[in-house]
Chain A
Amino acid sequence: MIATIGFILVIAAAAAQVVSLFRKGDKKESLSPWLMAAAAAAFLGVMLSRSVKIGFIALTSTYESLLFYSAFIMILDIVYRFQKKIHYSRIIGFGATIAALVLAAIASSPLLPKEALPPIPALRSLWLVIHVALSFVGEAFFVISFVASLAFLFTKDEKKKIDFDRITYTAVAVGYPIFTAGALIFGAIWAEQAWGRWWSWDPKETWAFITWLVYTLYLHVRLIMKKKNAAPSWIAVVGFLCTVFTFFGVNYLLPGLHSYG
């Protein structure tokens, strides 16, 4: 019920932003941040209630991961909306809201099991919680970089290109260390504790490694190329598609040690 209210609030936030996109001028739309804050609070509230019910931090199922990921994208979207260090673009704010909406929609799908089940022994680890939480926080920044890089690729305005490039770079620069810590460092520590092997080249691990390589590539290409060059933006797009495949594709197409998550 609360998750459904959250989902409706995200739809309302997206709708408010659609209206603002057609308005002229640079004035920021002021309703959607509050709607998103309420939606994120609803999603995190659902996670909290499930945590109490199962006696463990509820971040071990696909449903819970989707709620967390969606909530964090919205929190980031709000932070981006109110910060003053980098240029605010309504289209990027809207793109991030749509990403949060898509994840919330998948979470709401009747095809996805939603029963709050306590975790199996391998998942009863705080290392796992840190690993999953930081991975999604890192990936939430990659959502912003994805939307900004798409905006870069579609615009012809040179000034906007510089702004979008800077947003992409800032999002990757913040998301990369968090993703590195979550997906690789804490993932390896948990794997060593749970399975006795810190790296198994299991499909999920390999795709997390590929994602990390792509963003490493982005940072190095960005270092040697001019800011108006499209190559870094294309790499940021590929990087985000890798995160999507790591989350959904590997879970449903490539069985392995992470088949439950």
Chain B
Amino acid sequence: MREFWKKLKSIKLAIALIVILATGSLLATLIPQGKASEEYFKLYPKLVAELVVQTGLNRFFSSILFLVPALLFFINLGACALDRLVRELRKKNKRRHGPDILHVGLLLLIVGGIVSFSGRQEGMVRLAAGESVALPNGEILHLIKFSDERYEDGRPKDWTSLVNLEKDGALLKENVEIRVNKPLRIGAITIYQNSYSAALAVAVSAPDGSVTTLARGESFEAEGVRIFFMTTEKKPGVETGEAQAVLRVQGGGLDGAVRVDSQGILVGRYAVATTQVLSTGLQAVSDPGYPFVLVSLILIGLGTALTFAQKLNDTLKEEKA
């Protein structure tokens, strides 16, 4: 038993496992990860593809090739940390706890990684201004506005979703910005600005200046005019870019299917033209492992810094002596 414990906590075992983990990780970066099996047969000769798929090198970080050495490393690190901690605590003076904190941080990081891997959930939603979505905690996220800021050269500068949070009709948070690098944290859920898209809509402008925007499938009725936005299609003769809307119109001097683009047409007293409506892509993430990871990162930082500081202090004292 003593011999087994000695082997379990040995630095030699740690060294061997580090070499295995590093080599495996290196191989994993040379082989495309997470593709369908048939893709590997297109990429490599049959024997190599078979080897990659059967051994799990195509999904290395969730395969036993990685998980078994990682688990062994966790056990080895745990045994080593425990053994070292006990030894340090037995000392009357000159205790050096930097490596202990670092090792505990690494253990917690692995725990956080496992919790994250098994418990992380995410979902995507697309919202146009005025639309809402119900969050798992019962709150309603309402998009007020989405803005796509650009630099002068046209490159993206920032994407911002301005939202309200409501629950049971009461306003909880007003005009909250969700931007890239500035997610919104609501309890265990974090909402990220993930993407955006532009959809073709139809703007119906009345003589008084009021504008009604129709999404596909929506209709407008007034003064005996009925406009129904059926679908979109490419403009004939135009290979890329501009699309046009197909409407079913009744009244206003028109009857039947009518095609409209950004130039617009008149339907009775109403000007009808296509327009772009921006939709924000918000990603909701629940990662129960992240708090562990955050604490572990702080411990790792503290541990490495303390190890270095103590080592430097010892060296300086030695030199003085």
Contacts and interface: CB of A to CB of B under 8 A. Distances in A.
The dominant DSSP class at the B interface is helix
Given A203-B29, A220-B11, 16 more contacts: A118-B157, A121-B157, A122-B180, A124-B181, A174-B308, A177-B305, A185-B297, A185-B300, A188-B297, A198-B290, A201-B28, A210-B29, A213-B22, A213-B25, A220-B14, A223-B11
23 contacts: A120-B155, A121-B158, A121-B159, A124-B181, A173-B311, A177-B304, A177-B307, A184-B300, A185-B301, A189-B297, A194-B181, A196-B192, A201-B61, A203-B29, A206-B25, A210-B22, A214-B22, A220-B11, A220-B14, A223-B11, A224-B11, A224-B12, A224-B15
A173 B11 contact: no
B285 interface: yes
B78 interface: no
Contacts of B179: 121
B18 interface: yes
Interface string B141-152: 000000000010
Interface string B285-321: 1010010011001001100110110010001000100
B194 interface: yes
A213 B23 CA distance: 10
A196 B283 contact: yes
Closest 4 A/B residue pairs (Cβ): A177-B304, A121-B180, A125-B181, A213-B22
Interface of A: 85, 117-118, 120-122, 124-125, 127, 173-174, 176-177, 180-181, 184-185, 188-190, 192-199, 201, 203, 206-207, 209-210, 213-214, 216-217, 220-221, 223-224, 250, 254
Chain B interface size, under 10 / 10 to 19 / 20 to 34 / 35 or more: 35 or more
Given A118-B151, A210-B25, A199 B113 contact: yes
A184 B283 CA distance: 24
B67 to A, nearest CB: 13
B33 interface: yes
A239 to B, nearest CB: 10
A124 B158 contact: yes
Interface string B245-285: 00000000000000000000000000000000000000101
Given A180-B300, A181-B304, A193 B183 contact: yes
B181 A207 contact: no
A193 B181 contact: yes
B151 A210 contact: no
A213 B18 contact: yes
Contacts of B308: 173-174, 176-177
Contacts of B301: 177, 180-181, 185
The dominant DSSP class at the A interface is helix
Contact of B28 (A85, A184, A206, A221): A206
B56 to A, nearest CB: 14
Nearest to A217: B18
B180 A124 contact: yes
A220 B18 contact: yes
A217 B25 CA distance: 15
Nearest to B116: A198
Nearest to B28: A206
Contact of A201 (B12, B33, B157): B33
Contacts of B153: 117
Contacts of A197: 285, 287
Contacts of B19: 217
